[in-house]
Structure 1
Amino acid sequence: MSVAIRKATMKDAKALHAMIMESTRSAMVLPRPLSKVYGHLRDFFVAEDGSGQIVGCCALSITWDNLAELRSLVVVPEARGADIGRKLVDACLEEATDLGIGTVFVLTNIEGFFAKCGFRETDKGILPQKVWADCINCPQFPDCDEIPMTIETKIDNNGEK
């Protein structure tokens, strides 16, 4: 399946929200209200097939100095296995590099996929901003079973490529 990866636009918000909410049924991602999708629309990339249908999404959310989270990675079931998830992750990592962000993390239950993308399991203790900003309000807190993983971008500690 051929797809184009691009930044999300206003016309995509409701479709993104619907995809995210559908994926919450299988515990692939956490639910996000439509207001949060609109509020973080600039964080999202979308994968669009040749007919203009959105078949995937992923967001890069800046968390702290030199740290961002990859979140809401969703590929519709009929498009899985076509490397779309990897392309979305790569787009987010490229943007992190362009922004001068040295570390990107993900909280996931599909660690095998992210390991193939170069992420490594880490300790949640290195993510205190995430825990207090988002996790504290999550229905799974404090018994979260998601695995924290990180990847270093092509940026050094001084923000240089």
Structure 2
Amino acid sequence: MQFRKAVMGDTEAIYELIQMNADLGLVLPRPRISLYENLQSLTVIEDEDRIVGVGGLHILWQDLAEIRSLAVAPDKKGMGLGKELVSILVKESAQLGIPRVLSLTYQVDFFRKCGFEIVQKETLPHKVWKDCINCSKFPTCDETAMLYYVS
């Protein structure tokens, strides 16, 4: 298993992996254009030339980044790969000097095990006005906001 930054040749596999997880109701879908525009923020897990996991760290503000589109292939779940990927993205946030990492998620128990705490969405105006305002689920978002405080 290799954790590495995504490259353009990964985008179709990333798209399919995110879509597969979105179809299961685990994450929100992402259009290909979003993957192209945010490729440099994505980290993938590669196993024998196959992308089996993905997650992105998106900077929202000077003190806030967000983990987005965290997805693991169904046959690789339960191996700790998602948790390791979250750890890598949190470390990336720390290296950038960003003290808080957000996840808007349906996977509350998973992120709680990763050290995230539930917060009210209203405490995150930079996220709401930057991204949420354009989401098809706004203003009736059913995701839970969770924060990790980088030490």
**SS in structure 2 at match of 1:115:** helix
Q: What is the aligned partner in structure 1 of residue 20 from structure 2?
A: 22
Higher-Rg structure is 1
| Equivalent AA in structure 1 for residue 31 of structure 2 | P
Q: What is the aligned partner in structure 2 of residue 158 from structure 1?
A: none
- Per mean C-alpha deviation after superposition, the further-off stretch among 18-27 and 85-94 is 18-27
Q: In structure 1, how many angstroms separate the alpha carbons of the residues matched to 2:85 and 2:66? A: 13
- Per mean C-alpha deviation after superposition, the further-off stretch among 12-21 and 72-81 is 12-21
Deviation at 1:26, TM superposition (A): 1.3
| Equivalent AA in structure 1 for residue 66 of structure 2 | E
Q: What is the aligned partner in structure 2 of residue 157 from structure 1?
A: none
Tell me the TM-score normalized by structure 2. Answer: 0.97
| Equivalent AA in structure 1 for residue 72 of structure 2 | V
- Per mean C-alpha deviation after superposition, the further-off stretch among 64-73 and 14-23 is 14-23
Q: What is the aligned partner in structure 1 of residue 144 from structure 2?
A: 147
4+ residue segments displaced more than 2 Å: none
Deviation at 1:87, TM superposition (A): 1.0
Q: Is the 8 A contact 1:58 1:71 kept in 2?
A: yes
Identify the match of residue 52 of structure 2 among 51, 55, 72: 55
Deviation at 1:14, TM superposition (A): 1.3
Cα deviation 1:85-122 (Å, max 9, x = unaligned): 01110110010010000000101111100000000001
| Equivalent AA in structure 2 for residue 121 of structure 1 | I
Deviation at 1:136, TM superposition (A): 1.4
Q: In structure 1, how many angstroms separate the alpha carbons of the residues matched to 2:65 and 2:74? A: 27
Q: In structure 2, how many angstroms separate the alpha carbons of the residues matched to 1:142 and 1:24? A: 20
What fraction of aligned residue pairs are identical, expressed as a percent?
43
**SS in structure 2 at match of 1:24:** helix
**SS in structure 2 at match of 1:28:** coil
Query: Does 1:128 find its partner at 2:125?
Result: yes
5+ residue gaps, structure 2:
none
5+ residue gaps, structure 1:
155-161
Query: Does 1:106 find its partner at 2:103?
Result: yes
Tell me the TM-score normalized by structure 1. Answer: 0.91
Cα deviation 1:71-94 (Å, max 9, x = unaligned): 100001010001010111011001
Q: In structure 2, how many angstroms separate the alpha carbons of the residues matched to 1:142 and 1:26? A: 22
Q: Is the 8 A contact 1:55 1:75 kept in 2?
A: yes
Q: Is the 8 A contact 1:5 1:87 kept in 2?
A: no
